[in-house]
Amino acid sequence: MIAGRHILSMADLDAAAIEQILASAQGFLQISRRTIKKVPSLRGRTVITAFFEASTRTRLSFELAAKRLSADTTNISASGSSVSKGESLHDTVQTLDAMRPDAVVIRHPHSGAAGFVAARVSARVLNAGDGQHEHPSQALLDLLTMRQRFGRLEGLKVAIIGDILHSRVARSNLIGLSTMGAEVRVAGPRTLLPPALGASYRCQVADSVAAAIDGAQVVMVLRLQRERMATGFLPSLREYAIEYGVNARLLGRAHPEAILMHPGPVNRGVELSPDVVDGGRSVILDQVENGVAVRMALLYLTLGGEPA
Amino acid sequence: MKLIIQNGRVLDPGAGIDRIADLLVVDGRVAELAAAGSLAPQDAEVLEARGRWVLPGLCDLHVHLREPGEEYKEDLASGARAAAAGGFCTVVAMANTKPPIDNGELVARALERSASLGLCRVLPVGTVTAGREGKALAPFGELRRAGAVALSDDGAPVADAQLLRRAFEYARDFDLPILSHAEDPRLSLAGQMHEGAVSTRLGLTGIPSVSEEVAVARDIALAEYTGGRLHVQHLSTARAVELIRAAKARGVRVTAEVTPHHFTLTAEAVAEYDTAAKVMPPLRDESDRRALIAALADGTADAIATDHAPHSSIEKDVPFAEAAPGLIGLQTALPLALDLWRQGHLPLETVITRLTSGPAAVLGRQASLAVGSVADLVLVDPEAGWSLNDETNQSKSRNTPFWGRGLTGRVEATILAGRLVYARSRSPIWLGAG
């Protein structure tokens, strides 16, 4: 279904394709729990991770995913490559492509960069985060985590809290959740809500964090970038923590079985109080584990494998 | 030297002319308008124009010809060829070259170069501030004496209101209008496209409509206070149109222009991160587009101007955020403007006026077919379909969202001061100064 395709945006995936990826990922979860964490599915295939922006977990997650499928992996980053010598993205990716990789996993600070690369290479391109645009593998691992807990996505009440404006995680989740029929409410400071949010995605903009969380089954909290203070979006981290941070009291308004999600890395004491990060509702580490499985599924399926 | 243009539909709303006629040009001026087929062709060159329109040569208040400094994108020769092929006899060349046109010598050089090419009348603009740096006034007197027709820091609007106030006052001494790229640089900071549903979806930093409206309001207030002449470039929002309309009604000395891309496209043109549609000010909403057409209809906007801004693949074949803003427009302006008439938005007379006498009047000039006028003419086949492609394009650059798109209305010939400078079907096409 997604064999031979690029994974650039959640908008390219219909419900059936998402189901296929999640089912495949659920199967791959077992491999990472074995003593011998390796299957030969992608033996002889080459995966390049091209990260033009800092990343620890996503890069590691994709790399482990590829290695556990026996693909050969190599990576390049902006510093220490020809990019720092002024080579254009066009030339860089054409050079990479000439080395015949089967897949290129790309992270780039510019929105639309993954599509830009996909239009210029013959390898499959997997978007590992392009600017403020999308981060589809993150949304898929989030969907998998939700489905594991609730057994379904349709009708699920999801609250997304925080800096929506700059968040590619929020965008990919808004699209994916809408495709799967979840009900999404968003909340955050007005300065960090993009214009025409309701017109761009199927979601409701709540008046307050509390209103968004009320009765929600999933509370997804986004990371607050510290640079938002310097650029005048917010007065201080302290005020953000008080006015928009999610703590045990707010989480008490959610559904009794609600889960707390965060794409990481967490600013403890800013968007989340320490007690809820470590509390019983947190599934943050499940998200990390599911991340490897989802990326295994994406690599496996796009490079032509049958559903596991 | 005589030239007869035979059997064309001579159309000049400014002079109240609309009839099938023979037009006689003698020594570079319109000498006679006679009944079709009545002028004897002895000792005159004859141009058959049956089924064609004969219009005054078009005038473009806003082009970037990139010379000196960025000749790989465009130069005075290629820019003039694109102008002639687009039916333009007069183009106003912006000062944001490298170095910027901020002294008389650079103005004089541009005038000499384009005069020797002889394809198009290039009217240079001088900068408002020295080096286009927004810190100190450029020498308006020297610029004017060398031949500059207006002042503009286009692309880098003068942020300091005090300095702009002085510029309006000082420019009055030389009767030069200030062409304003009205944008608040802080409100547009890091902006890539119009702020709205599409920017939200694409994750691109938006440029809100208020960025233009704040600047238009400021510029109008300063022009009104000082009595200076303000021309607002590339209007893009409905509210900016309202501000100009109200200012004109109060008698403020303000004029304005609208580009073909702003009256044709919306932010949706960017939806696939198409860098050809990246432009400042950005393509906006459908309601803005409608308001711009209404502004052209009622004269709030005096002129259609292209903001012809050539860029190469170096600036455009890059991720959207890195791409330079701007698109070429000299050859597509007329067919896109005629679409407004074809779709019933504007009367034909209005479309022609906004491309000829409207922009000319902003500079206190004329574009007319009345007897005695300079014979700048363009012959148009209103029904011919064509597209801009590697064969038809005369610019050095090809950055436009209209590339390859079907267009209706084609320039057949352009005559500059009585001389044929462009004839589509002739070979060689370019007659130049010869």
Residue of A6, A110, A167, A197 to mutate, testing the B interface (most B Cβ within 10 Å of its Cβ): A110
pLDDT of res. B426: 79
pLDDT of res. A230: 75
* Pairwise CB contact (< 8 Å): B197 & A195: yes
Residue of A132, A138, A222 to mutate, testing the B interface (most B Cβ within 10 Å of its Cβ): A132
Cβ atoms of B172 and A171 within 8 Å: the answer is no
- Among partner residues A133, A195, A197, which is closest to B202 by beta-carbon distance? A133
Please check whether residue B315 touches A, CB under 8 A.
Answer: no
Catalytic residue among B219, B307, B376, B381: B307
Residue A186 has pLDDT above 90, yes or no: yes
* Pairwise CB contact (< 8 Å): B203 & A171: yes
Residue B398 has pLDDT above 60, yes or no: yes
pLDDT of res. B307: 98
* Pairwise CB contact (< 8 Å): B201 & A195: no
Size of interface A-B (CB pairs under 8 A): 67
Residue B428 has pLDDT above 90, yes or no: no
pLDDT class for B173, splitting at 50, 70, 90? very high
Q: Which residues of B touch A130 (CB under 8 A)?
A: 203
pLDDT class for A81, splitting at 50, 70, 90? low
pLDDT in tens, B76-92: 999 999 999 999 999 99
Residue B134 has pLDDT above 50, yes or no: yes
* Pairwise CB contact (< 8 Å): A196 & B320: no
pLDDT class for A49, splitting at 50, 70, 90? very high
pLDDT of res. A225: 83
pLDDT in tens, A94-117: 999 999 999 999 999 999 999 999
pLDDT of res. A1: 79
Stretch 259-288 of chain B: residues touching chain A, C-beta under 8 Å: 272-273
Residue A267 has pLDDT above 90, yes or no: yes
Q: Cα distance from B390 to chain A (closest Cα, Å)? A: 22
pLDDT of res. A228: 77
Residue B56 has pLDDT above 80, yes or no: yes
Chain A residues with CB under 8 Å of a chain B CB are 88-90, 108, 110-113, 115-116, 130-134, 168, 171, 194-197, 199-200
Task: Say what percent of chain A tops pLDDT 70.
Answer: 97
Q: What is the mean pLDDT of residues A220-235?
A: 88
Residue A80 has pLDDT above 70, yes or no: no
Residue A145 has pLDDT above 90, yes or no: yes
pLDDT of res. A229: 76
Cβ atoms of A283 and A277 within 8 Å: the answer is no
pLDDT of res. A263: 96
Kindly report the three-state secondary structure assignment for every residue of chain B: CEEEEEEEEEEEHHHCEEEEEEEEEECCEEEEEEECCCCCCCCCEEEECCCCEEEECEEEEEECCCCCCCCCCCCHHHHHHHHHHCCEEEEEECCCCCCCCCCHHHHHHHHHHHHHHCCCEEEEEECCEHHHCCCCECCHHHHHHHCCCEECCCCCCCCCHHHHHHHHHHHHCCCCCEEECCCCCCCCCCCCEECCHHHHHHCCCEECHHHHHHHHHHHHHHHHHHCCCEEECCCCCHHHHHHHHHHHHHCCCEEEEECHHHHHCCHHHHCCCCHHHCCCCCCCCHHHHHHHHHHHHHCCCCEECCCECCCCHHHHCCCHHHCCCCECCCCCHHHHHHHHHHCCCCCHHHHHHHHCHHHHHHCCCCCCCCCCCECCEEEEEEEEEECCCCCCCCCCCCCCCCCCCCEEEEEEEEEECCEEEEECCCCCCCCCCC
- Among partner residues B205, B273, B319, which is closest to A89 by beta-carbon distance? B319
Q: What is the mean pLDDT of residues A200-217?
A: 96
Q: What is the pTM of this model?
A: 0.95
Residue B430 has pLDDT above 90, yes or no: no
pLDDT of res. A231: 81
Residue B248 has pLDDT above 80, yes or no: yes
Q: Cα distance from A194 to chain B (closest Cα, Å)? A: 6
Q: What is the mean pLDDT of residues B17-26?
A: 97
The mean pLDDT value of chain B amounts to: 96
B12 is catalytic: no
pLDDT of res. A77: 86
Please check whether residue B321 touches A, CB under 8 A.
Answer: yes
Give the least confident one: B40-44, B384-388, B397-401, B410-414: B40-44
* Pairwise CB contact (< 8 Å): A110 & B322: yes
pLDDT of res. A308: 46
- Among partner residues A89, A130, A133, which is closest to B318 by beta-carbon distance? A89
Task: Say what percent of chain B tops pLDDT 90.
Answer: 96
Stretch 170-209 of chain B: residues touching chain A, C-beta under 8 Å: 192, 195-197, 199-206, 208
Residue of B273, B274, B287 to mutate, testing the A interface (most A Cβ within 10 Å of its Cβ): B273
